[in-house]
Amino acid sequence: MSKARNKVSGTSIITAESVAALERLCPDLAQWPHSWRVEDKDIAAGQEIVEHLKPFLHELLRQGLAAKTLARHRDHVWMLGGEVIRRRHVDPELCQQSIPALIFNLIEDEGGPLIWPRISESQQRTFDATCRKLYRFLEPGNVS
pLDDT digits (tens, 9 = 90+) for 63-100: 999 999 999 999 999 999 999 999 999 999 999 999 99
Averaged confidence pLDDT in the chain = 91
- The confidence band for 5, taking pLDDT boundaries of 50, 70 and 90, is very low
Rounded Cα distance between 138 and 57, Å, is 12
8 A C-beta contact, residue 85 and residue 112: no
Angle between helices 67-90 and 42-62 (to 10 degrees): 150
Does 26 have pLDDT greater than 90?
A: yes
Count other C-beta atoms under 10 Å from residue 119's C-beta: 14
Q: Which pLDDT value is given to residue 14? A: 83
Does 3 have pLDDT greater than 90?
A: no
